[in-house]
Amino acid sequence: MDVDNKKITCMAAHGEKDLKNALMRSCNIYFASLAIDLGKDKMNSFTNSLLFNKRLQIDKISTKESNYNVTNSNNYELGWSGVGQYTDLLNPMHSIVILNAIANSGESIDPYLIKEISESDGTIKYHIDNNINSHTLLTKSTADKLKSMMRYNVQKNYGDSLFPGLNAFAKTGTGETSENKKPNAWIFGGSTNENTPYSFCVVVEDSGFGINVAGPIASTVMKALCKVK
């Protein structure tokens, strides 16, 4: 796609796709076009509402903020930001916060490392339920649609054999970093089953494609966690 006399490219020719199938195929052209159509103000506003550009507190540990800011971008740069390039940065812990909102009809609960601290006599000094932060990040309609599309990814692309019995929803990512390194391989998602209410994010730096590298790791961990053979 020509933008500002430069080309935004994709790894394959996908033809005409709706949002669901563009997400499944990771179609750069679709998401670059969408970012340009929405414009800088809407893209900045919505990503800020998803807690980009803000440090999150995980058990009082301040995480590095994710970055999205297209205020000074041109259309070419804005298009690439919609793909996940330009100056975009995503903290894996932040991705879990967003995933939790997708899983829980828009309401996100922060991840935590320590569930409870108690004295030797059984006195509870700290319990996560009394200290956890929650955020309404998405409307129920948006969250449910995203979960449905990510479920479609697993069914039609990755295969349910990757997460057997979990009715998983997921999305892979192949994050380019520099010309001298392999991409960072990502996969994030979760289980839609009430008895396995887990979300996950796996990032393998300088490794390759998300589904080839991060996918098997997420599969192994989720199978062990949920005791699925």
DSSP E strands in the chain: the ranges are: 2-3, 6-7, 57-58, 61-62, 107-109, 116-118, 124-127, 134-136, 168-175, 184-191, 199-204
- Taking only the tens place, the pLDDT of each residue in 85-115 is 999 999 999 999 999 999 999 999 888 888 8
- Taking only the tens place, the pLDDT of each residue in 8-55 is 999 889 999 999 999 999 999 999 999 999 999 999 999 999 999 999
Instruction: Decide: helix, strand or coil at residue 85.
Output: coil
pTM (two decimals): 0.90
* CA dist., res. 33 & res. 5, Å (int): 15
* CA dist., res. 39 & res. 199, Å (int): 31
- What tokens does 81 get? 């930001």
Burial-class residue 179 by CB neighbours within 10 Å (0-12, 13-18, 19+): exposed
The full length of the chain comes to 229
Is pLDDT above 90 for 132?
Answer: no
For residue 26, CA distances in Å to 12, 54, 136, 174, 196 come to 10, 26, 27, 10, 27
- Taking only the tens place, the pLDDT of each residue in 209-227 is 899 999 999 999 999 999 8
Q: Please, what is the end-to-end C-alpha distance for the chain in angstroms? A: 45
Contact between 189 and 200 under an 8 Å Cβ cutoff? The reply is yes
Segment 164-172 mean pLDDT: 95
> Radius of gyration (Cα) for the chain, nearest Å?
19
